Structure 1
Amino acid sequence: MTTTADVLVIGGGGSGMSAAISAATSGATVILLEKCPKVGGSTAMSVGSFTAANTSYQYRAGVNDSIELFVADMKVANGQFEERENKELRRVLAENAGPTVEWLSSIGVQFLGPTPEPPYEKPRMHNVLPNSSAYASALLGECRKRGVDVRTSMRVDRLLRNAAGEIIGTRANGTDFFGRRGVILATGDYSASIEMKAEFVGNAAAKIPPVNPNSTGDGLKLGNDVGGIMVQMDRLYEGLRFAPSKRPDPIKILPSHPLLSTAMRLVVERLPKNLLAYVIRGALTSWVGPNNTMYQAGAILVGHSGERIANEDSDKLMARAAAADEKNTAYMIFDERVARKFSAWPNPVSTFPGVAYAYVDDYKRYRPDVYHRAQTIEELATSIGVTSSVLKSTVEEWNADVATGVDSRFGRQHLGDGVSEGPFYALGPMNAYITLADGGLAVDTQLRVTQANGEAIPGLWAAGSTGQGGLQLLNHGLHIGWAMVSGRLAGRNVAHAPKRLDLEATENVPVN
């Protein structure tokens, strides 16, 4: 089997497969190396929304959008982080997201949308059907159609350079692979690297497990070892999620096939909105933790001991506190007043914006394993498996703090109305997870990996989270958008790069 191609792609998630297809359709031969037994990466594990402007979905829905409005809304979503934004890459994303949705549609990916996504002015969120595995299925099928040599269970451990200092290939499983025109790093983020989380964020964050255990920052290390710089490495998405349901998920169990996706789109576009929301609530209560607004109304978070564990104003602090305990378990406790408030619009417990909203009774219906209701705090403690005297003392202390207006334990600012009106409720167990990390290699607008002086490293490109380059991506659907957009652009650019004549490796650069 050949180990040399025009383009070598490392990583088989959404960005890597998009890069491989783009390079192949630009006339290049392509080898893709994926360390896991199957492709898909974090893309196949995501909710799957793709935020984009100027799509045919928007046109059919009568939405008049523009690139300038899209950029303006991203500025609003960034808030205090706007000063950190890589504005050149944001423009690349805004201009190419719409065409990339159309491209995905052309290879069999179907979307529901566009749906609203506050604080955006225009509906831009396109939700993949039937689930995010549709990306992996369609992209892998297109890779095979375009002749991409996809090899799984191939862990890359070093980059190869020639005498001129150009990146010419990699070593994986003891074999050297070469890319005559270039190498693309598309291995995802570092959310599963305990060492990198500890180094860049801290030991408390390092203890939080990742959603994707394979996101170990391999591409970041590879790029950094040959002179690339890592930026925005302090940004992790830390939060609480409900423990996985033992019931089959009606959305995730659906097989991914273009014909099924097309049929689903035609059906759901014609379903009454209230019926569609009802269908999706089962999945919604499985995937998403409760909104922070419940804590602002008076709910508290307790650990398996029955004591409060963190300042509930902060997702990060709650996640770190839960993960600090070996059981990584927490429960939200609230009373009848909060339950009433979060039983109807405009106060959902959890939400897919513009698509479906889940309320307290939906958890009783769809997730009885995480729904607890009792007439007394002592009975509620028994239901969730904590010591009744401890939980009672915790609630009494909290109610006393609410009465004085000061959280004596953690300094929480939004106290709400306390936990005093029965019956009483708990949602949980919940576990702490890191959904993703926003750090990535610095890249230019051609997706070439750059050094500290701004010069591109010859022969090396990066896409997706590996090449995020300082983008903020602070609203739903932007990470998937950047994965596909950057992958397509990187693949095209490498395919058009000049061939290197010297493919003899003179320097092996190991991963740290």
Structure 2
Amino acid sequence: MSETLDLLVIGAGACGMAAAITAHDAGGAVAIVEKRATPGGNSSLSTGSIPGAGSRFQVAAGISDSPERMIADLENIAGKHDADHLTALIARECGPLCEWLIDDLGARMELITDYRHIGHSVERLHAPKSRRGQDLVDDLLRFVADRDIPLAVGNGAERLLIDEGGSVVGAVVEGVEIHARKVVLATNGFAANSALVAQFCPEIAEVEYFGALGSTGEAIEWGQSLGAALGNMAAYQGYAAVAYPQGQLLSWTTIEKGGVLVGADGRRFGNEDDGYSGFAAKVHGQGEFAWAVYDSRIHDVALAEEEYAEMARMGAMKWANTAEELAKAAGLPATILADTIAAYNTVAQAGEGDAQNRRKFAMAPLQAPFAIARVKPGLFHTQGGLMVDEDARVLREGGGIIDNLFAGGGAAVGISGHAGAMGYASGNGLITALVLGRRASLRAMQDIKAAA
């Protein structure tokens, strides 16, 4: 490691590793520090899904897509918010990003054509074959190791180093000063900091957090101490169906392909078309638990996802040949659940909106044998953070930038709307992490070379 690094990356999730790889390949001296004993953060807990509008993989599959279409999709779900400039940037860069990961680096990913998931009008998600974010993280770790980029786990940054002119010049890590020409904050969001969640996202503050434990909001606090602007701080990613007691995500494919969620009274309580994030607050509002109801055909589709297959082996779902038997297996009112399924099947057969205004029925009506799984809502990721420009430079409240400081991923403002979870589209967290991580390093190295 050189005496003064070109780039110090704080955080070893997808954002931090993408930033480090990009800086190294541009000729920079770079190192990563990570406070947790294991790298990956929320990236490891995700499905590893990355939107890639206009990628060559879509073209090969005959899927017509473009950045403009993705911008329209994102604006449709999230509306206008504090980071509209990033929505356009990310839509332009996500296709080339997927090609960089797969073609240039060798990531084990593929275009998903089995489903679109919430927020996308065409199949544009690219993910590991396993649908596990850990596989993407393992690939990134391999790329970091291949380049001999120093990665120090169990080494938390305590504060930023600031010179007399107010520029960031490094960080104090476990009591040691590490000097760097540029610093990237890739520390994830603040969902594991209950005080910050209560302050900025009160509607979800009582919901259990299921994300990475390292998401404690240091970037927000460091940035605020330097006068950084914040954006979209009330936005978050929820998940409506965390299997209980397994504590793993019940694949939303079970709902997207035609399943429903019911409460303890056996009745549906909202429009599942809102998606796994947007529907989380609705699940929280109706009671402690909900139950996902679907059928064996949908189950067979979801089995292609490793995590779901693992949960099936764990017995997360119960089976029955009638709605009444299904209710008995789950401890729900038999007559009411049977009526709920029958009413839903009627509108699904007709393809018309029902009392909950659902419009997408996919493989429904549901057919025996039926499956049911007990679930609860969860908080997974905050979607607000430090305001940054298109080069991921941290912006000051009132204008200007904080010299030498960049942010990406959960540390930076997201593109999932101004508040709540309804603006979250699948892949928004990872795509923000990877695009901004790369943009930060490219701009940092450009500035360093220009000043040489």
Decide whether aligned partners of structure 1 residues 478 and 206 sit closer, same or farther in structure 2, where only a CA change above 3 A counts.
same
Counterpart secondary structure, 1:497? helix
- Post-superposition offset of 1:310: 9.2
Q: Deviations over 1:435-466 (max 9, x none)?
A: 32211210011111001212101121001121
Partner residue of 1:141? 142
What is the CA–CA distance in structure 1 between the aligned matches of 2:406 and 2:179, rounded to whole Å?
14
Structure 1 SS opposite 2:80? helix
Q: Which residue of 1 aligns with 2:231?
A: 231
Query: TM-score when scaled to structure 1?
Result: 0.69
Cα 1:148–1:198 shift into 2, 3 Å:
same
Q: Residues of 1 paired with 2:224 and 2:401: CA distance? A: 13
1:23 to 2:23 alignment: yes
Q: 1:469 to 1:228 in 2, by over 3 A?
A: farther
Q: Which residue of 1 aligns with 2:401?
A: 456
**Corresponding residue for 2:110?**
112
**Alpha-carbon offset, residue 82 of structure 1:** 2.2
Q: Which of residues 280, 295, 300 in structure 2 aligns to 1:316? A: 280
**Local SS of the residue matching 2:172:** strand
Q: Does 1:444 align with 2:404?
A: no
Pairwise CA distance, 1:413? 5.0
Change (3 A) 1:112 1:457: same
Map Cα deviations across residues 305-348 of structure 1 (whole Å, 9 max, x no partner): xx5799444723344248x75xxx4434x6xxxx6xx565xxx4
Q: Identify the residue that residue 301 of structure 1 maps to in structure 2.
A: 263
Spell out the pairing of 1:1-150 with structure 2 (5 A cutoff): 4-63=4-63, 65=65, 69-79=66-76, 81-84=78-81, 86-105=83-102, 106-113=104-111, 115=113, 117=116, 120=120, 122-130=122-130, 131-150=132-151
How far did residue 225 of structure 1 move?
2.1
- Deviations 1:67-125 (CA, angstroms, capped at 9, x unpaired): xx323333234326322263322232122222222221222203222536276454322
Alpha carbons 2:82, 2:232 under 8 Å: kept = no
Which runs of 5 or more structure 2 residues have no equivalent in the other structure? 272-277, 345-353, 359-365, 418-422
Alpha-carbon spacing, 1:124–1:166, altered in 2? closer, same or farther (3 Å): same
Tell me, yes or no, if the aligned pair for 1:188 and 1:464 is still in contact at 8 Å.
Answer: yes
The match for 1:489 is 439
| RMSD over aligned Cα atoms | 4.1
Give me the whole-angstrom Cα distance separating, in 2, the residues matched to 1:126 and 1:31: 28
1:444-491: per-residue Cα shift (whole Å, max 9, x none)?
A: 111110012121011210011212355547422343222212111111
Which residue number in structure 1 is paired with residue 427 of structure 2?
Answer: 477
Residue 274 of structure 1 corresponds to none
Q: Structure 1 residues 300 and 319 mapped into 2: Cα distance closer, same or farther (>3 Å)? A: closer
Write the distance in 1 (CA, Å) between the matches of 2:149 and 2:311.
Answer: 47
- TM-score normalised to structure 2 length: 0.77
CA contact (8 A) 1:71 1:90 kept: no
Instruction: State the Cα distance separating 1:356 from its structure 2 match.
Output: 6.0
Output the amino acid matched with 2:116: E
Question: Secondary structure of the residue that 1:32 maps to in structure 2?
Answer: strand
Counterpart-to-counterpart distance in 1, 2:389 and 2:340: 51
Provide, for residues 34-60 of structure 1, a one-character-per-residue CA deviation record: whole Å limited to 9, x for no partner. 111121121122111211133332333
- Is the 1:242–1:288 Cα contact (8 Å) retained in structure 2? no
Hey, what's the Cα distance between the residues in 1 that align with 2:90 and 2:233?
20
Aligned pairs (5 A) from 1:384-423: 384=330, 386=331, 391=333, 414=356
Q: Residue 80 and residue 117 in structure 1: after superposition, are their counterparts in 2 closer, same or farther (change >3 A)? A: closer
Displacement of 1:24 in angstroms is 1.4
Give SS of 2:42's match.
helix
Q: 2:36 and 2:100 mapped to 1: Cα distance?
A: 26
- Change beyond 3 A, Cα 1:174–1:413: farther
Q: CA deviation at 1:208?
A: 2.3
Q: Which residue of 2 is the match for residue 507 of structure 1?
A: none
- State how far apart, in whole Å, the 2-side matches of 1:139 and 1:434 are: 25
Q: Indicate which of 252, 255, 264 corresponds to 1:291.
A: 255
Give the conservation status (yes or no) of the 8 Å contact 1:208–1:320. Answer: no
Residue equivalent to 1:506: none
Q: Pick closer, same or farther for the CA change 1:308–1:217 going to 2, 3 Å.
A: farther
Q: Is the 8 A contact 1:15 1:483 kept in 2?
A: yes
- Alignment match, 2:274: none
Per mean C-alpha deviation after superposition, the further-off stretch among 193-202 and 124-133 is 124-133
Percent identity among equivalent residues? 22
